[in-house]
Chains A and B, each alone.
Chain A
Amino acid sequence: GAGVSQSPSNKVTEKGKDVELRCDPISGHTALYWYRQRLGQGLEFLIYFQGNSAPDKSGLPSDRFSAERTGESVSTLTIQRTQQEDSAVYLCASSLGAGSYNEQFFGPGTRLTVL
């Protein structure tokens, strides 16, 4: 089963705490995306990594959000000083990235609840 995996699957935290979410993409996929999806809403783009290029951070909602990716492997999304409005499902996806065929494969998501 070489799909995209994410951990933890659920995270409950208190307002003001920092959280770290992890994504393991499919091996060989150079592109990696983070999205946020609030209940009943569409996907909200957060950040995009493509190979060794500088990441596209244009979707990060505030400076409390940051993400790192080690080479073409695991990525972590960090949210500092969490707020209640950060409660959502955080989805990670990876794709081959190069060329015109860019099917995205999604992980199951991390459901974050900020109390």
Chain B
Amino acid sequence: RKEVEQDPGPFNVPEGATVAFNCTYSNSASQSFFWYRQDCRKEPKLLMSVYSSGNEDGRFTAQLNRASQYISLLIRDSKLSDSATYLCVVSRRDDKIIFGKGTRLHILP
């Protein structure tokens, strides 16, 4: 079983809709969680960290469920510019960082 698993998609979503992704992780000792965004032919960049209490940044909401070992990302009022690959990232206690393979999102006009 992969340490971090994501649905690869693609998710094809009309502009303005709400879309959510989940990601599961297998190492219960994982300590930090992030969502990264990668645009086509670009390097990944941090979108947001994920905290146990959940956190929101504008149209983006991230949630962590430690009991079930998954994190989620919700995008409201999606824009064409949200089209990208979203990478789930988990940091272990030994500071090694594990990337998921990513979920592709296409926002349709």
Interface residues of A (CB under 8 A from B): 31, 33, 35, 41-43, 45, 48, 50, 56, 91, 95, 97-98, 100-104, 106-109
Residue of B45, B49, B97 with most partner-chain A CB within 10 A: B97
Instruction: Flag if A103 contacts B46 (CB, 8 Å).
Output: yes
Instruction: Count A-B pairs with CB separation below 8 Å.
Output: 51
A48 CB contacts on chain B under 8 angstroms: 96
| B32 is an interface residue with CB less than 8 A from chain A | yes
The answer to the question of B87 belonging to the interface, with a C-beta cut-off of 8 Å to chain A, is yes
Interface residues of B toward A: which range? 20 to 34
B57: Cβ under 8 A from any A Cβ = no
Q: CA separation between A95 and B96, bound complex, in Å?
A: 10
Min CB distance A5 to B, Å, is: 12
Which residues does chain A contribute within 8 Å of B34, judged by CB atoms?
A: 103
Among B36, B95, B98, B101, which residue has its beta carbon within 8 angstroms of that of A31?
B95
| Cβ contacts under 8 Å, B11 to chain A | none
B55 on the A face (CB < 8 A): no
Interface SS majority for chain A: loop
Contacts of A104 in B (CB 8 A): 36, 44, 46, 89, 97
CB nearest to A48 among chain B residues:
B96
Most chain-A Cβ atoms within 10 A of its Cβ — which of B36, B43, B102?
Answer: B43
**Would you call A43 and B97 a contact (CB within 8 A)?**
no
Q: A100-B32, A103-B34 are in contact. Are A50 and B95 (CB under 8 A)?
A: yes
- Complex Cα gap A31–B101 (Å): 21
Contact at A106–B32, with CB atoms within 8 Å? no
A102 and B32 within 8 A (CB): yes
**Nearest CB in chain A to that of B40: its residue:** A40
